[in-house]
Amino acid sequence: MLNSNEWQEKHDQFLSNSQNLLCKSEECLSHLEMIGDDEDAIEGLLTNLLKLSLEAQSASIESLADFSRKLQQWLSEACQYPGFSPEILNTLKSCLELMSWQLELIDPQTGELLMDCDEQQALLAKLSEISSISDQ
């Protein structure tokens, strides 16, 4: 974990970069809502989630890094099947909204994100459940 002086130096850049990556991810998701198998949108979403994971890892925001990484891994596997159901797209949107909300909860003085990961785990489980149902 970064000490508070290191975090304060990094905070503004991390927050700006992360918000930008989430905004780009939301744009990709909007494209997927219109064209369910848009390869550019899928690739953009995968890239942005990976970058977000690396940004969060670099800033020692482990829960956000882990969530981004797991979501990116799920999406990487799921995109092997054509199209996404509206329920999957809505759940992905909820994941991005949660990440955005979590960015706002990071303590600007210490860089700590004090929270449990229950909602993250619930959304990932829902994605897995929905995708296994839609594969059948």
What CATH code is carried by the domain that includes residue 94? Answer: 1.20.120.160
Task: Say what the pLDDT of residue 4 is.
Answer: 64
Q: What is the pLDDT of residues 48-83, one digit of tens each?
A: 999 999 999 999 899 999 999 999 999 999 887 777
Q: 53-62: which pairs have CB atoms within 8 A and are 24 or more residues apart?
A: 55/14, 55/17, 55/18, 55/21, 56/14, 56/18, 58/14, 59/2, 59/7, 59/10, 59/14, 59/111, 60/1, 60/2, 60/7, 60/111, 61/14, 61/106, 61/111, 61/113
Give residue 135's pLDDT band: very low, low, confident or very high (50, 70, 90). low
How many C-beta atoms lie closer than 10 Å to residue 128's C-beta?
13
Q: Is pLDDT of 46 > 90?
A: yes
pTM: 0.90
Our count of domains for the chain comes to 1
Q: What is the pLDDT of residues 76-119, one digit of tens each?
A: 998 877 778 899 999 999 999 999 999 999 988 888 888 888 99
Domain with 107, as residue range(s), is 4-135
Question: How far, in Å, CA of 98 to CA of 106, rounded?
Answer: 13
Question: How far, in Å, CA of 27 to CA of 33, rounded?
Answer: 10
H-assigned helices in the chain: 4-34, 39-58, 62-78, 86-105, 118-135
Task: Say what the pLDDT of residue 90 is.
Answer: 96
Task: Say what the pLDDT of residue 136 is.
Answer: 44
Contacts of 109 (CB under 8 A, 6+ apart): 4, 7, 8
What is the average pLDDT across 119-132?
A: 92
